[in-house]
Amino acid sequence: MELDWNLILQGLEDFGVLLLNGLLAVLYVCWEHGPTLLSLVAAALVAVGPDRSVQRVVGHRPRRRERGAVTRATPVAMVATAIVAVVWTIASLLSRSPIPLWGLAMWVALLAGAWALPQERENVLWTHKGLILGYAALAMGLRLIFQSSVNAAGWSELMGVEQGGAALLAMVRQALAPWVVITVWAVYPVAYLTVLGQRLFINRTRLISPMASARDTFEALRTRGESF
């Protein structure tokens, strides 16, 4: 039985074209949704790093004479991170730039802040995960208000005025558009980063430096970060 080399070569060529097209499609999706994917990576690092560290904190110390038991915190922090990450992913996929980029910056800032402030790690995690969840809700609200189709006829019937619903909807959108866009695109994320930066500045003497030696750490604690 003779092999049809032309058919084999044609099959290999078709397979190569399909493989190349698949790789290009994956690269295109990664490029288009890069900030969203990187946000998921940052959220995963938050879950396996700071969240896991918080959950290792002992909840109750054993009492005297072996009475009582040592209990550890439940994985609430990691579950909360997963919920916030899912909600943020949906909001990011529904939004356009610069919202996904701001979300990525917020996740990275949360990871860095929780790592640099071990004394306030739990407070930083809960506060800023709540702020990210609020930003996701605000982004989805922006999408709902300005990019979704609303039944203006129902509003007109409710108001009892012909075409009144469409006019009211247009007026509301025109009035809210500048404020909502400015809030989502600039005010909210800048305020988020400012709050975290302020916390880092207040606790600057207790920041963790990966390049500092033990002597440098003790010296900073002894002098409270002040140089004489």
- Other residues' Cβ atoms within 10 Å of the Cβ of residue 78: 17
Instruction: State pTM to two decimals.
Output: 0.72
Q: How far apart are CA 225 and CA 228, in angstroms?
A: 10
8 Å CB contact between 145 and 173: yes
pLDDT of residue 131: 95
What's the pLDDT at 66? 58
Distance CA 150, CA 59 (A): 50
Residues of the chain with confidence (pLDDT) below 50: 228
DSSP E strands: which ranges in the chain?
A: 58-60, 71-72
Would you state the structure tokens that stand for residue 28, as one six-digit string? Answer: 């295109």
Which pLDDT does position 228 carry in this prediction? Answer: 45
| Contact yes or no for 107/58 (Cβ under 8 A) | no
Q: Exposed e or buried b for every residue in 17-38, given b needs 16+ CB within 10 A?
A: eeeeeeeeeeeeeeeebebbbb
| pLDDT at residue 95, as a whole number | 87
> What confidence score (pLDDT) does residue 80 get?
93
Task: Give the Cα separation of 176 and 108 in Å (integer).
Answer: 30
